Amino acid sequence: MKKIISLILVGLIIIGITSLTGCQKDAVYEKFTDYSFDYFDTVTTIIGYEKSKQDFDKNCDKIKGLLDEYHKLYTIYNRYDGINNLCLINSVKDSEHSELKVDQKIIDMLNFAKEMYELSDGKLNIAMGCVLSIWHNYRQDGISSPINAKLPPYESLIKANEHTDINNLIIDEKSGTVYISDPQMKLDVGAVAKGYAVEKIAEYMKQNGMDGYLLNVGGNVRAVGNRRDGKKWTIGIENPDTDDTEKTYIEYLEINDMSLVTSGSYQRFYTVDGKNYHHIIDPETLMPSDRYLSISVLCESSAYADALSTALFSMELEDGHKLIESLKDVEAMWVITNGQQIYSSKFKDYCTKE
């Protein structure tokens, strides 16, 4: 009897002490935040709890060094001297020199993208570069000159879509080379590269004792390890109905060592004749898919969360729901066009009232 009581007490004390050290450490660890605009064409936020600004800056420099490296390898918009990156892969034309030796980080990411293509039944296709670049150009022009905003001619999209077969991306693991056998095909890794890079950086951080950090690369949120003050991160999911001034956030999630990625049709869009056209293009219709206002995916890996949130956008709710439920420890929330929120089976376990 006595033994049972003391066991129960020990249990209680452990719970108590964990929360107590949470309070004590609070005084020692200070919160630091860093913003940068140099990676993946978006804003990066790094938040960490450290004893001094120097400790934080030291870790930030390492994280940013890695972000810089991945950005330069994965960008399709810029070339860098001495780096065989995605932009170079896309521009190699000469069939004699078309097998390009690339960094293992590129091969791993492309293999992951192929895996996502299979998993999403082709809804996520990095070989869609030709189609996506047409939309990209029309969107950029439409944003900088709204009066002249136009939709891409459908014929041009259909024509571009003839060069989107991912099987024409040939990866030779042994020689470390990449080759596109369709000379007109282009890669656009926008839906996978950022999340994949963030996940690889999170792995590095965990191995090097940088626990308790939060990386947010353009809405790709990765909570790395457990926070040093024993608390969880609270993350609000924005209300995609931007006209609703009352309700800024539709859900608050409490997470540790997980990723949350929200893809929205409400942020990167342009307007033609009063209708908004966003940046996630359905591979079947070649048009922006208009089933959802936003989709949030919650799972440990930032790579999966990023890729799945884009793939789900082009999938029927029922199919997407089935896919998420078939994956272990992956949850999602869909906001359909009428504002209704649909949840996967355990998504709400992470929700908190605020």
Partner 1 sequence: MLKSDGLKKVKNDLILVGVICTLSLVGFLIFKLTMKDGNRVSVSINGEEKYSYSITDNVETDIITGNNGENNNTLVIKDRKAYIKSATCPDKICVGHRPISKDGETIVCLPHKIVVSITEGK
Q: Does 5 bind partner 1 (CB under 8 A)?
A: yes
Distance separating alpha carbons of residues 351 and 329, to the nearest angstrom: 15
CB of 52 to partner 1, least distance (A): 17
Q: Which is nearer to partner 1, 155 or 243 (CB)?
A: 243
Is 294 strand, coil or helix? strand
CA distances from 36 to 19, 76, 260, 289 (A): 33, 20, 20, 31
Q: Give Dmax over CA atoms of the chain in angstroms.
A: 82
Q: Are 183 and 170 in contact (CB under 8 A)?
A: no
Residues 227-266 that bind partner 1 (CB under 8 A): 231, 234, 242, 245, 248
Scan residues 115-174 and list those touching partner 1 (CB under 8 A). 143-144
Q: 19-28 b/e with 16+ CB inside 10 Å = b?
A: eeeeeebeee
Give the shortest CB-36-to-partner 1 separation in angstroms: 5
* Residue 3 in the binding site for partner 1 (CB under 8 A): no
Q: Which two tokens stand for residue 44?
A: 């990066």
Strands 220-224 and 275-278: unpaired
Please say which residue, 2 or 328, places its beta carbon nearer to partner 1.
Answer: 2
Which region among 15-23, 98-106, 200-208, 279-287 touches partner 1 (by CB under 8 A)? 15-23
CB of 339 to partner 1, least distance (A): 16
209/204 Cα distance (integer angstroms):
9
Binding mask 40-69 for partner 1 (x = CB under 8 A): --xx-x------------------------
Binding residues for partner 1 (CB under 8 A): 2, 5-6, 9, 12-13, 16-17, 19-20, 22-23, 26, 31, 33-37, 42-43, 45, 143-144, 231, 234, 242, 245, 248, 267, 354
